[in-house]
Amino acid sequence: MCIELHQLTLNQGHRTVVQPTDLHLHRGEKIGLIGPNGSGKTTLLKAIAGLHSPASGRISLDCHCLSGLAPQDLAQQMAILLQDQPTDLPLSVHDTIELAAMARPDGRAGPSVAELLAIAHLTPLAHTPVSRLSGGERQRVFLAQALFQAPQILLLDEPSNHLDVRHQWQLLQHCHDTIETVIASYHDFNLAAALCDRLILLVDGVIQADGPPQQVLTPANLKRHFGVDSERLSNDDDAPHIRVLGAVA
Amino acid sequence: MFNQYRNAALLLGLALLPLSLLAGLMLGSVPLPADTLWAVLQGDDSAVSGLIITDLRLPRVLAAALVGAALGLAGALAQTLLRNPLADPYLLGVANGASLMAVMHLLGWPLITLLPLPLAAFIGGLLAFSMVWFCARGRGDQINPLILTLSGIAIAALLSALTTLVMLLGDQRALGPTLRWMLGSLAGVELGQLPLLLVLLIGCAAVAWQRRQQLDALLMGWNKAQTLGVNIRRERLLWCGIIVLLASASVALAGAVSFVGLVVPHLARLLLGPGHRALIPASLLIGALLLIWVDILCRTALAPEELPLGIPMAVLAVPLLLSLLRKQAQ
């Protein structure tokens, strides 16, 4: 067992964004969270990372209640790529990635800063302040920082934001290949289907479907919850490939 | 390459510090030549010049260095903690709280006059910050840096209005010293007042140096820093406490010296970069050097009259700050 949600309810101000939810997320799984805007994906990921306190219920990590864990202990197991990155950070790309050393336990094997700079194609920008980078470059810096933590669990909130197609596939595939457990929210159905072995469809804070991509990404689900007509271009045994035909009239 | 430049710049600053302290002892309304200074430092304190150096200028120049370093460090910490380049240690209401208590003391308010002036100012600073902190606290002890900043501005405005009211109601003959104190002055500082600030400064600088990595992480924002294991509740209380202690102790010694905490971290960042490994020693050194020379200017510009520290600081700092901001905007 890895992460358990027990009757978890999450609020934003007076608005309930995640209804009472029970969920078991297992070690080794590659999980994709999908859902329309405002469905509670970001809030749920922040709650799992200890950044958002539950209104009721609890989250436990390996049977330990998350609220009882010190930030340092949590950071040694879990890294998160947030959706909103600081745009005015004056530190260099190299120093920003290296900051994650404080969350990496002594002796844990992991990539070096130089290796991650190369993987994220940031080597020529190593000494450039993060504040001078484009949105996509900044996203790659913080993805590299999360990988430098060498976490057992990686949470990604819409990681494909700002990334060009090459970096979307290359970097996210690298994350899924090298990190034991990945939980990521996606808007791209095909990216989610290709990278994840389990998808959770969240709508208005309620889990509407949970299972392998071929069970979740059905034309009926997409029409009902996303308001789009679609067709599947691959057979049921493969990761489904979805072609969106257009919004429902 | 950058590390070599950074180390060389810090060594240069360190070398300039004793030279500036010596200049502070020699320059003033009565200039003293080097041989007189040398004789006094050898122990010959019989002449008037000996009294000027040991009783008047030595405490003053040491106080300038300590207050400058304390406000420089507090400013750097405030700008990092609040992620606001316009933050200074007074943004948390400290200077206005200290000023109100000091003005009440100078105007002879009962009870408050039972305390020494520096202690009254120190307590005023702490009380003002407590009000700011209380106002900024949200549900579940959550604090937003923007709300903290705005609460500080609001409480500072309220305390400033109360200070004006106290001055209007008070004895008009005491307004001169009151105004001088509000603009900052090192006149009359005694050696015995310095150890408290010295101990505080050494302690706070050591804590900041030891936690420089956490300070670097705070530059990314509170949420992001927490994901790297920074305990935000503990850190913000620690840094607010350190900022308030340094600022209150400085105000208690030298009055409300403006602009040092705002401009020094900008200069330090411009010269040595944003990382706290360089920013902490650079802010200490530049703050100390700046206030030593501004105090010399205050003593010599209109000698034998003395200027309050706040006037030359504003004249020097405002164009400097505007040009730095303009450069950053470009």
Smallest Cα–Cα separation from B208: which of B235, B185, B176, B175? B235
More confident residue, B51 or A90: A90
List, for residues B88-123, the tens digit of each pLDDT value. Answer: 887 788 888 988 998 888 888 888 888 888 788 888
| CB spacing of B219 vs A74 below 8 angstroms | no
Cα–Cα distance measured from residue A138 to residue A134, given in angstroms and rounded to the nearest whole number: 6
Q: Is residue B219 part of a domain?
A: yes
| CB spacing of A74 vs B232 below 8 angstroms | no
| CB spacing of B216 vs A80 below 8 angstroms | no
| CB spacing of B274 vs A80 below 8 angstroms | no
Q: Please state the ipTM of this predicted complex.
A: 0.88
| Most confident residue range from A99-113, B18-32, B287-301 | B287-301
Measured in angstroms, the CA of A238 and the nearest CA of chain B are apart by 36
Mean pLDDT along residues B34-61: 77
Q: Is residue B134 part of a domain?
A: yes
Measured in angstroms, the CA of B71 and the nearest CA of chain A are apart by 22
pLDDT class of B46 with cuts at 50, 70, 90: low
Q: What is the CATH number of domain A1-77+152-167+176-217?
A: 3.40.50.300
Where are the domains positioned within chain A?
1-77+152-167+176-217, 85-150
pLDDT class of B139 with cuts at 50, 70, 90: low
List, for residues A206-241, the tens digit of each pLDDT value. Answer: 999 999 999 999 999 999 999 998 888 876 666 788
| CB spacing of A82 vs B230 below 8 angstroms | no
Strands (E) located in B63-105? none
Instruction: Inform me whether the pLDDT recorded for B27 exceeds 60.
Output: yes
Q: Is residue B24 part of a domain?
A: no
Q: Where are the alpha helices (DSSP H) in chain A?
A: 41-48, 71-75, 93-98, 113-119, 135-148, 165-178, 189-195, 213-216, 219-226
| The predicted structure's pLDDT at residue A2 | 84
Top residue of A84, A89, A106 to mutate, by most chain B CBs within 10 Å, is A89
Structurally, chain B folds into a number of domains equal to 1
Residues of A in CB contact (< 8 Å) with B are 49-51, 53, 70-76, 79-80, 82, 85-86, 88-91, 95-96, 99-100, 102-103, 129, 149
Strands (E) located in chain A? 3-12, 15-25, 30-34, 56-61, 64-65, 78-81, 153-157, 181-185, 198-203, 206-211, 228-232, 242-247
Q: Which B residues in the span 269-288 are in contact with A, Cβ-Cβ below 8 Å?
A: 269, 273-275
Measured in angstroms, the CA of A22 and the nearest CA of chain B are apart by 24
Cα–Cα distance measured from residue B78 to residue B53, given in angstroms and rounded to the nearest whole number: 35
Instruction: Region of A204 please: left (phi>0), alpha (psi -120 to 50) or beta.
Output: left
List, for residues B143-170, the tens digit of each pLDDT value. Answer: 777 888 889 899 999 999 999 899 888 8
Cα–Cα distance measured from residue A192 to residue A189, given in angstroms and rounded to the nearest whole number: 5
Residues of chain A with confidence (pLDDT) below 50 = none
Q: Is residue B226 part of a domain?
A: yes
| CB spacing of B229 vs A74 below 8 angstroms | yes
Mean pLDDT along residues B289-317: 89
Instruction: Inform me whether the pLDDT recorded for B140 exceeds 60.
Output: no
| The predicted structure's pLDDT at residue B111 | 86
Domain that holds residue B218: 47-329
- pTM comes to 0.88
The answer to whether the CB of A35 falls within 8 A of the CB of A10 is no
Q: How many CB atoms lie within 10 A of CB B190?
A: 11
Q: Is residue B77 part of a domain?
A: yes
Closest alpha carbon within chain B to A79: B227
Which among A51, A90, A103 has CB closest to B223?
A: A51
Q: Is residue B7 part of a domain?
A: no
Q: Is residue B11 part of a domain?
A: no
By DSSP bridging, strand A78-81 and strand A153-157 are: parallel
Measured in angstroms, the CA of B171 and the nearest CA of chain A are apart by 50
| CB spacing of A103 vs B228 below 8 angstroms | yes
List, for residues B176-217, the tens digit of each pLDDT value. Answer: 777 777 888 888 888 888 998 999 999 999 999 999 999 999
By DSSP bridging, strand A181-185 and strand A30-34 are: parallel
Closest alpha carbon within chain B to A101: B228
The CATH number linked to B187 is: 1.10.3470.10
Measured in angstroms, the CA of B220 and the nearest CA of chain A are apart by 6
CA B238, distance to chain mean position in Å, is 18
Q: Is residue B286 part of a domain?
A: yes
The answer to whether the CB of A85 falls within 8 A of the CB of A142 is yes
